Structure 1
Amino acid sequence: MAEVILRDLVKTYPGGTSRATDEVSLEIGDGEFMVLLGPSGCGKTTLLRMIAGLEMPDAGQVVIGDRDVTYAEPRNRNLSMVFQSYAVFPNKAVRDNIGFGLRMHGVHADEVARKVDWAADLLQLTPQLDRYPAKLSGGQRQRVAVARAIVMDADVLLMDEPLSNLDALLRLSFRAELKKLVEELGTTTVYVTHDQVEALSLGDRVAVMHEGQIIQCGPPTDVYDQPATEFVGGFLGSPPMNFLTGVVVDTDDGPRLDLGGQSLPVPAALSPHTGKPLKLGVRPEAIEVAHDGASVTGELQVLEPLGSSALLTTEVCGQTVKVSAPPAFRADPGGSLNLRLPDDACRWYDPETSLLLEVR
């Protein structure tokens, strides 16, 4: 195992108008499960490929353990990689697929057999060892790809959206298996995904990327609860964080956010923003439909029963607010709802910079 250190990595593709990665720096601890999360085109796969040696940076440094491997060949980095497309050999049985890399490295046949049996047992593939990929399900093929990677005893395990080709139920079950497996192995792992649920459930830390940069990096709960920017708050969550824009006004009761007909209290620490626009961010599940003590009144537009909850789309002073209500909640569209926004669930953002404002 080894730590991975990325220093000021820059990559621009020929003909590109912007950098795929823009001076990205990141330290990944020994044995840590790091998730690179972001939308398509944000640079996460490019970053992974530079760690793997499949792309060479225009500037910056990649260090694995105590070795600078920035321009080393992939085979000299002691890495294993699991690809999105499985990349299993259709003309080889599961046993031969798993042991392929070991044989290419000249490992003795007895040791290959031992490691293949170990990985197959760990990933519940023993009954399929003599089958060919065409006879396997998508989940089983992905297990084969993971098994082939872990038998190599690599310093770092790289995964590029390995669950994206599985259906929803398979993703759910395999995600839990993968988390358990990586915890047992203790291998430093870098995992790329655009799926926020995967990121939040798997990673020790999540690095959210946007336009070639890491916008925020931290434990999943911190990134979800304290989004550093509007982008992070709007990208994480299903539905994502609500944002209400207003102007801070001074009143006898202290500063308030004027939404245009209704207002909300603003922390005293933000009183210097009086007369300026401000954004309030709040998660849908934090908003309560209240009979008393309401913060604002909204008009119900749509009610969507989701089984475990009911998703309400409301309108507050012309702005859309999503509310996650109990599954038994019932109301008629067009009616008014009293909504309570707990102070400890409110996050405040500067509309000009989109950055989270510190409130103490």
Structure 2
Amino acid sequence: MTDVHLRNLYKTYPGGSAPATKDVSLDIADGEFMVLLGPSGCGKTTLLRMLAGLELPDSGQIVVGGRDVTYLPPKDRNLSMVFQSYAVFPHRKVRDNIGFGLTMRGTDRAEVARKVAWAAELLQLEPYLDRYPAQLSGGQRQRVAVARAIVVDADVLLMDEPLSNLDSLLRLTFRAELKKLVEEIGTTTVYVTHDQSEALSLGDRVAVLRSGEIAQCAQPLHVYDNPADRFVGGFLGSPPMNFLTTRLAAGDGPKVTADLGKQIVEGPATLRPHDGKPVLLGIRAEAVEIAHTRQGDAVRATVKVFEPLGSAVLVTAEIDGQEIKVQAPNTFRAATGDQVWLTFPSRHTRWYDAETELALEAA
């Protein structure tokens, strides 16, 4: 059983003007696939390197499987790591690359051969065991790096943007293979990426980092549907969540009125204290309903950009000087300057404080 507990981790690099991580605490369950997601410089790789022992925290604690490993060297942590740059040995054949960690541990040769064969079968590398890395594609070299990491029976598998050097089609294929592999071996996994598609598709949970702190940690679809603040909603999603500045007014029962063409939406009772105050209305592009004629309490908007995307179209429109993006079916047609009508279904609207940009409802 290998769970991971990060407690109040602080890290500032020499000469750094701000901490790379600030009071980060995170619990990762045994067998869980945890994704650390965020933009460059948010602290996600620093966290991974501290967990691996490649960086030491200024303060805080790292506990792996009930053992305090905060200041142990990497070799004593029983963790394995897959790097962004493959890091395979060019002068060693595939089978020797895969078995390198076991050989360094003095594992019996027969056991090394057995484990290498097992990993090669899992990662479809059997035809390439006697080739050198230069004879492999990028995707095959990354498979070798993953195989080398899983054969050593590590307590935790660490991955630092392992797919970022692959082209888009290969990345999609390898992502599916990786998800299946991790499910099969059941090893606790911590995965760093800035790619939201990877985070949403791979993780059991996603921790979104901003400026060295965890902005939100939850199951992928919960983070996507219920961002804790404007940063999370604006970072996750393509296009990101729309945020429109509006003002709430009292309505009947649980209803409130947003000052966007008198659009009526249903809001929770917690919004009552914000009547008359400016707030942010958040809604995903695919949740906005668009039509050429007015329906119900729809808001009028003007088309600024029309972009066909193949499976859908992306419409950039303007409402009272505010821009909004709408993802519509690929059968929808519009041109710059057209008037369209937008509806915001209440089940898809999210509300945020205009000053703090934090969610006004429990996320």
TM more than 0.5: yes
For residue 63 of structure 2, what is the amino acid of its counterpart?
V
Contact preservation (8 Å) 1:257, 1:266: no
Residue 130 (structure 2) aligns with: 130
Instruction: Give me the whole-angstrom Cα distance separating, in 2, the residues matched to 1:207 and 1:342.
Output: 28
Residues 249 and 316 of structure 1: CA distance in aligned 2, closer, same or farther (over 3 Å): same
Q: Which residue in 2 is equivalent to 1:286?
A: 287
1:300 equivalent to 2:303? Answer yes
Residue 183 of structure 2 aligns to which amino acid in structure 1? E
Deviations 1:29-69 (A, max 9, x none): 00000000000000000000000000000000000001000
Q: How does 1:56-135 map to 2 (within 5 A)?
A: 56-135=56-135
Q: 2:354 aligns with which of 338, 351, 355?
A: 351
- Of 133-142 and 285-294, deviating more is 285-294
2:11 paired residue number = 11
In 2 relative to 1, CA 271–229 (structure 1 residues): closer, same or farther, beyond 3 Å?
A: same
- Out of 321, 326, 347, which is 1:323 matched to? 326
Cα distance in 2, alignment partners of residues 57 and 188 from structure 1: 22
Aligned residue in 2 for 1:257: 258
* Residue 252 (structure 1) shift: 8.2
Q: Deviations over 1:292-338 (max 9, x none)?
A: 12431111111111111001111111111100100111112101111
Q: Indicate whether 1:213 and 2:213 are aligned.
A: yes
CA distance in 2, matches of 1:141, 1:252: 62
- The whole-number CA distance in structure 1 between the counterparts of 2:266 and 2:175 is 41
Preserved contact between residue 289 and residue 340 of structure 1 (Cα < 8 Å): yes
Q: Do the aligned residues in 2 keep the contact of 1:267 with 1:359 (CA within 8 Å)? A: no
Gaps of 5+ in 1: none
Name whichever of 265-274 and 111-120 sits farther off. Answer: 265-274
Percent identity between matched residues is: 67
RMSD over aligned Cα atoms = 1.6
Contact residue 301 and residue 312 of structure 1 kept, 8 A: yes
Give the TM-score, by structure 1 length: 0.97
Aligned equivalents of 2:309, 2:238: Cα separation in 1: 12
String of CA shifts for 1:58-96, please: whole Å, max 9, x gaps. Answer: 000000001000000100000000000000001111011
Structure 1 252/218 Cα, relative in aligned 2: closer, same or farther at 3 Å? closer
Question: Does the alignment pair 1:332 with 2:351?
Answer: no
Q: Which letter does structure 2 place at the counterpart of 1:41?
A: G
Deviation at 1:271, TM superposition (A): 2.7
Matched-pair contact (CA < 8 Å) for 2:84–2:164: yes
Q: Per the alignment, in what secondary structure is the counterpart of residue 163 of structure 1?
A: coil
Question: Are 2:265 and 2:345, in contact at CA under 8 Å, matched by a contact in 1?
Answer: no
Q: By how many angstroms is 1:266 displaced?
A: 5.9
Query: What is the rounded CA distance, in whole Å, between the counterparts of 1:203 and 1:255 in structure 2?
Result: 36
For 2:228 and 2:155, locate their aligned partners in 1 and report how far apart those are by CA, in whole Å: 32
Deviates more, 1:240-249 or 1:96-105: 240-249
What amino acid maps onto 1:119 in structure 2?
A: A
Tell me which residue corresponds to 2:197.
Answer: 197
Residue 280 of structure 1 aligns to a residue in which SS? strand
Number of residue-to-residue matches in the alignment = 359
Classify the secondary structure of the residue corresponding to 1:26.
strand
Cα deviation for residue 256 of structure 1 reads 2.1
Matches within 5 A, 1:153-232: 153-232=153-232
In 2, distance between residues paired with 1:96 and 1:38?
35
Q: Quick one: distance in 1 between partners of 2:362 and 2:142?
A: 46
Measure the CA separation in 2 of the matches of 1:324 and 1:205. Answer: 26
Rounded Cα–Cα distance in structure 2 between residues aligned with 1:265 and 1:220: 26
* Partner Cα distance (1:312, 1:324) in 2: 6
Q: Residue 262 of structure 1 contacts residue 317 of structure 1 at CA under 8 Å; is this kept in 2?
A: no
Give 1:264 shift. Answer: 4.6
